[in-house]
Structure 1
Amino acid sequence: MNTLEELKYYCNEKQPVGAIMLSGEWGCGKTYFIENELRKELEKTHVIIRISLFGLSSIESIKNEVQLNWLQSYIDEKSETKGLGEKGINTLQGLMNVVNEETKNKFGPIGFIINKLSSLDIVDFIKVAPTIGNKKVVLVFDDLERSSLSTNDILGCINDYCENLHIHTIIVAKEEYVKKNEYKETNKSIKYETIKEKIIYKTLVFNPDYCSIIENIINNYDCNSDGYKQFLITSIPKINNIFIAFDSPGILKKEKVLTNRPHNMRSLKYALHDFERIYKILHTKCFENIDGWLSSFICYSLCCKANLIDFNKKDNPYGDIFKQSIEQTLFPEEYDSNCITNGMKVYVQNGTWNLKMISEELDTIIENKEKSELQLIKNYYLDLEEDDLNKYFSELLERAYSGGLSLYDYVSFISTCKNLRIYNLLPNTIDWNKVNKGIQIQCEKLIESGEEQPSLINRIDINDGYSEVEESAYKIISDFLSERILEFEKNKQEYNCLIENNPIDAIRKVEHCFFVKFDMDMAIATAKGFIQNPNKRKRYIAENFENAWEDNYSNEKFEYQSSIESFKSLKEKIQAYSDQCEKENLKISKINTDNFIRILKSLIKTIQTKIDNEGEAI
């Protein structure tokens, strides 16, 4: 006979021979079982009155709680419209049948009702009976181990209802903790086992139907996020596996693992509530296997709430390589350390929600996953199944088209395409124009970000079987890095800022740094800086400008043609300013400006000579 049938049989006995104890671990669903399954089974024949002993500080308060709940149940049974109209008056008159004779004689039938309608102590006059109408009363005393009162005193109080009033009584507790509490109590003349033998005639160990409880919890869960409820419903089999047996062997024997696993349904409710925030982020970032993240989060939450995780232990210098965590040991099939981040763990531990931290951790996972897919195709393409190769390559190709690879990864991509082509394994037709555009997008991103110049550490030999389109794609990368465009762009930005406010440092920047050219942006910034600076700085710019550029235009990579056009543009702007100085009679500014024009003409002539010489050499 299962637990429900046992309790039904007990409650249907004509007269109880003692109380029944329903024992089970915290949060396993004992109270839910009483309030839902047992109440539903007995609703036509019994009235179940549940009293939580948690927080009740005296035996008198327990008795008052029983009286108050019994009275409420009486009113609920006797009146459909509680306390209203004729039915309400009839219900109150019916209370005369359950008050003691002394009270009736003192007030009389009508006087009692009138005098006590406004009294807060009406429960003091209620006589608790084993029946309400034609229904038997079942008293359920919950949370015995959580009471601050003496266990013996509580059981003595409960015994009065069971033995003397013949009311069917169920005591709900985690009995092992009741026994532990016995040793904390002092001046005890009777041991728990002794008084238990008198009052409790049978103890039932509650074996919950976790699948039913989990399904009910999720069906009744009120979500804030669109789609989360449906996600939980589809994840029920995954959640069930956390609370029921697994097939594959763990590090510990199956029975021992299951015994030590936390099975707290309240902790599950908290975890489902907390994971809703995480679900929204994972869903937004298009993570797959979100149910795996949910499973790992629940496992960690259960262990954390059960105080199984030691947060004060010293870090192992080798990490967790040689030792499994408690959550990995207890949930070897359900917990995946790759599906929970440090930010999520902190959220479980102390309730601190750090959206930025968790988002950054997930972004890093995405980035590493993308890299690992490329490495998988590059290094292990002959180990993959056909479907996996097609899937990974399609995703990789989309990122290559959109500029989603680093330059280093683009080179690996080109090399991988060549190898797959040779083995006739290319799953898709590659649009190399789109690949080239993606490379250019990545180059522009690097320029905008101001990153340092990377080195091309994964060079490829274009003579090693590469096709023309593969060579062209690689050349874009090679030229970008060999021409030191990133370095130039960064130096240019710094120069343009300095020339306006600190021209001395700007000139020194040109002297000591690499500039592949002098472009129109620099011409505009130089003209603006020269015009707005005082004469002292104007003179410095004019006297040092040509010498500063000498090392750069002597470099064979210097772009003479585009630079000479920019120098000419600068000269025109400075000439316009010279004309303005003459009109405004700014004589000193006019002298420094004309001197600068002379320097620019000399510089332009030198560069033109180099262009002419290169033309003759060709």
Structure 2
Amino acid sequence: MQTAHIEEIFKEYLRKEATQYALLINGTWGSGKTFFWKTTLHAMVKKQELKPLYISLNGLKTVEQLQQQLMIKLIPFFGKPENKALKNIARLTGNIGNTVTKFFKVDFSNILSGVTLDGLKFNDKVICFDDLERCQIPIKELFGFINDFVEHKNLKCLILADAIKIDDNANYLKIKEKVIGRELNYEPELEKVLPTLYKTYTIEDEYFTFLKENKDYIYGIFFEYEEYNLRIISFFLDSLFKIYGSLKDVASEFQEEVILFTALISIEFKRGHLKSDESNDFNGLENTSYFWYQNRGKSVPMNSFFPEDKKEPEIEPTYAEKFYLKYVESRINEFQFYGSIYTYILSGYLDIKNLKDELEKRKPEEHPEEVLEFMRLVTYDFRSIDGNEFEKLVANVLQNAEKGLYSIYDYDRLSNFYHFFSQNGLIAKTSQEIDNILSKGLDLASKRKEINDRVFENLAHFAVSIPEMQPIRDKIIAVHKVIREESEASESNILMELLENEHIENLNQLFEAKKYSKDFLKYINGEQLFIVLTSVSNGTLVHFTKAMQERYKSSSLKHMFPDDFDSLNHLKVSIDNLILKDEELDKLRIFNWKELLEILDRACKLLATEDE
């Protein structure tokens, strides 16, 4: 029902004399029923020169508690002089019962002793009872209490509820007609509600202006995904306010990327699909793109516009795949993953430097000619290229590939396309000639030692789309692993140097940077590490122990660091032997060694555990 219709019905209800029924507004959690009361209906009550009162039923367990809350709300309307003290207390607190009991050491019922409701007028008041579904008073007792005022004292009453969530729903359906004259289904109208939410930021001039400038875009997001929960939208607006400080000098298209991504992650988080403890686990969303989705876990033949009619076994889609279909597919050109925003929404901490770095990377790159040609040719839209331009691009890109001008991962895509071109008579090169050229270029490209673990994992995860791609794919994987091992071995050597020179601050920074690296200690020689540790001070040994404790505190070490066992075990055995054999060690040094040994022993046991 449109809010305008509810307003009209409510207005008629307020004007009607001697009413003997209540109105109920039904709407889902967070849809804005309370907001609607506070911003619209409350003002309508006052305009009719009636007195509005608001009582939340949330958590109330007995009719006596409800009666107490009602008395509190009605204290300002008591007219007897002897109740002047009560009025003064009421001005000080909205929770008079608890406050009076706490500070005056008296029972609230004693304060109101002798005070009755009989002398009060109720036909000039409108009480809004909110959170009906959260009330713990049995529904029959509750409605009996309310009905006494509605039917016999002509109180005008509005009840707000998410009716489907009322515990005793069967009883509610049976007895509601006795009290409720009309049930109105509330459906928030975003185009009306959003501007009202924006007004809460009027003191923040720049952000308020930003919201107004992007009001159509923001409205479009929540309307498209049918998200009308005002608590979620308010959470989004608060989150965006924090992010906005980094968007002031950013191009409008990137601002819209941030708005969209913040909205989507806010929805998923507040709906419970993402958890706070996943703030550093992107759930595969960082790889979300059109080509990722098209190629996920399957071969995509390029020689046909239509997939083959094969029945594949159904596999439960990943979270990233569900997210893509729900949100990204319809806005693929607007979607961009921002790790800093994802972590902020889930954890509450915004790494502003990281966000600014991510935004800086979104600025258009000035690509060299060979990259522009690659991007023009190696795409599924190559069919639309002019014939003469196609021949030129095919020759130039292959020549540049032979010179090693592309990243090592680009050679997988080059292999895919050039073998396809060859098989379909678009180029004269044979399969072997293509492999020879690409292999030569891959050797040259690998000398730059440029690797990307995320791209590699995505590439290694999926099977080749045509068998002819396999030799180049295998070589890329081998090259990546060699470069990665060299890099990690180098970083392992840095660890040894930092320990030898006792650079504690740099040591801590290295462990922090490599907190989740599977290969950081894989190539460490445990016995050599032990020799270095025997020469360091107690202070450095303690810092190293703390760093190791932080790295291996999880119970999922087998999954996180599957190859660390050998280096840790060799270090453990060496320390064991030292403690047993070296009788000259002082007690404090032995104590420090034992603390490290305890961490190593636990880690080795977990790493040696067989997978279930």
Interval of TM-score (by shorter of Structure 1 and Structure 2)? 0.3 to 0.5
Of the two, which has the highest radius of gyration?
1
**TM-score, normalised on structure 2?**
0.46
**TM-score, normalised on structure 1?**
0.46
